[in-house]
């Protein structure tokens, strides 16, 4: 410490002293790395925006609701893909939310803590299974089951109901919206369960005890007190799951049938945004074609961006405010 100023005796140290300690340098270096994340993300948005320029200039907003997708005549519209993405995601939520919520309620409210933890552990493992594995199972297990069992069953039962029945009409080849939704549902259930379970576990004990003391049954205490208390966080978990479902690529590509048409029947083949990019991007000839595919990527990015933002806000709101029902 040859003749350096005495270290930090009251008062702020000079910049040079701090520099010598290395604090400022370390701060700066880590800051630069943190800024890299910012850079990557903004570059991502910028690249998607710039590379989709041709398509945006050519089709404008019409891109979003045009139904033709015709690489031969260079005419592109995103409607069939947006439709497919939304339908598969929503149907998968219809399957996954009740299942996941019920399982989360069981794990948080009923199961002994040890068992609940072990099951949650297995469910985290389930969430780690790569999507191409789900796709493989989709092709060789879910598709045949939908063709021979689930499909005919639905046609014979719900198919006869006046309005909803229209969703279950037409030929059933096994591949299509329904199969994709089932595979997606299996993929997102673990996320709904593990986030909802966490949220449910944060509900104060007193809430349950008060309800039970009033003579409520266990189920009533759970359903009318605990779940409403946690509902904001549960909504957050659902949004997160939805964002994942929207962006899921491989598993859906393998079972949806890959046909850019808007069809009413859930048994029909369709297409999603992620799937069309995966299938056609390397084969796309012509700048406009590529540009249209990238614009689809931009649309997908924005959809997940908005959902993720909403989900975060909801989850943070629950954690802060205890999710008190308003």
What is the footprint of other proteins within residues 62-101 (CB under 8 A)?
A: 98-100
Phi, psi dihedrals of residue 70, rounded to the nearest 5° = -130, 95
- Phi and psi at 69, nearest 5°, equal -135, 95
Give the residue with the Cβ less far from other proteins, 154 or 182: 182
Q: Which of residues 188-247 bind other proteins (CB under 8 A)?
A: 189-190, 193-194, 198, 217-220, 223, 243, 246-247
* Residue closer to other proteins (CB basis): 155 or 317: 317
Chain positions 283 to 312 lying near other proteins, rule: CB under 8 A, are 294, 297, 300-301, 304-305, 307-309, 312
Residue selected from 281, 310, 317, 319 as contacting other proteins according to rule CB under 8 A? 281
Q: Which stretch binds other proteins (CB under 8 A): 58-66, 163-171, 172-180, 184-192?
A: 184-192
The owner of tokens 């997160």 is 240
CA distances from 77 to 8, 58, 183 (A): 66, 11, 26
Subset of 129-158 contacting other proteins (CB under 8 A): 129-133, 135-137, 139-141
* 128 near other proteins, judged by CB under 8 A: yes
> Quick check: 251 and 236 in contact, CB under 8 A?
no
Q: How far apart are CA 150 and CA 153, in angstroms?
A: 5
Among 54, 86, 95, 126, binds other proteins (CB under 8 A): 126
286: helix, coil or strand? coil
Among 49, 58, 106, 261, binds other proteins (CB under 8 A): 106
Chain positions 240 to 279 lying near other proteins, rule: CB under 8 A, are: 243, 246-250, 254, 274, 277-278
Is 212:302 a contact under the CB 8 Å cutoff? no
**3-state class of 69 per DSSP?**
strand
* Chain-centroid distance, C-alpha 279: 21
191 CB-near residues (< 8 Å, 6+ apart): 100, 127, 237, 240, 241, 244
Q: Which of residues 10-69 bind other proteins (CB under 8 A)?
A: 21-23, 25-27, 29-38, 40-41, 43-44, 47-48, 51
Which CB atom, from 161 or from 305, has the smaller least distance to other proteins? 305
């Amino acid at each position: 410490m040859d003749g350096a100023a005495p270290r930090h005796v009251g008062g702020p140290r000079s910049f040079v002293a701090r520099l010598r300690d290395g604090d400022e340098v370390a701060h700066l270096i880590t800051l630069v790395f943190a800024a890299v994340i910012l850079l990557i993300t903004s570059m991502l948005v910028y690249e998607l925006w710039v590379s989709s320029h041709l398509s945006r200039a050519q089709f404008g907003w019409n891109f979003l609701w045009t139904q033709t997708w015709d690489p031969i005549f260079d005419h592109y519209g995103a409607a069939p893909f947006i439709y497919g993405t939304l339908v598969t995601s929503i149907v998968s939520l219809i399957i996954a939310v009740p299942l996941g919520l019920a399982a989360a309620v069981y794990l948080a409210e009923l199961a002994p803590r040890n068992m609940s933890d072990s099951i949650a552990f297995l469910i985290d493992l389930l969430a780690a299974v790569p999507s191409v594995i789900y796709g493989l199972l989709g092709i060789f297990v879910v598709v045949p089951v939908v063709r021979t069992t689930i499909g005919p069953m639905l046609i014979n039962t719900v198919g006869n109901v006046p309005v909803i029945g229209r969703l279950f009409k037409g030929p059933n080849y096994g591949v299509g919206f329904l199969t994709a939704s089932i595979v997606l549902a299996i993929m997102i259930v673990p996320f709904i369960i593990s986030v909802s379970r966490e949220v449910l576990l944060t509900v104060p004990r007193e809430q349950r005890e008060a309800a039970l003391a009033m003579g409520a049954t266990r189920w009533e205490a759970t359903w009318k007190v605990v779940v409403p208390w946690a509902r904001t966080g549960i909504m957050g978990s659902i949004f997160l799951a939805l964002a994942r479902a929207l962006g899921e690529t491989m598993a859906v590509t393998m079972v949806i049938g890959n046909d850019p048409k808007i069809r009413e029947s859930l048994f029909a083949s369709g297409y999603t945004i992620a799937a069309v990019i995966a299938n056609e991007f390397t084969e796309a000839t012509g700048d406009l074609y590529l540009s249209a595919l990238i614009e689809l990527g931009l649309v997908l990015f924005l959809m997940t961006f908005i959902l993720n933002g909403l989900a975060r806000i909801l989850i943070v709101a629950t954690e802060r405010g205890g999710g008190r029902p308003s």
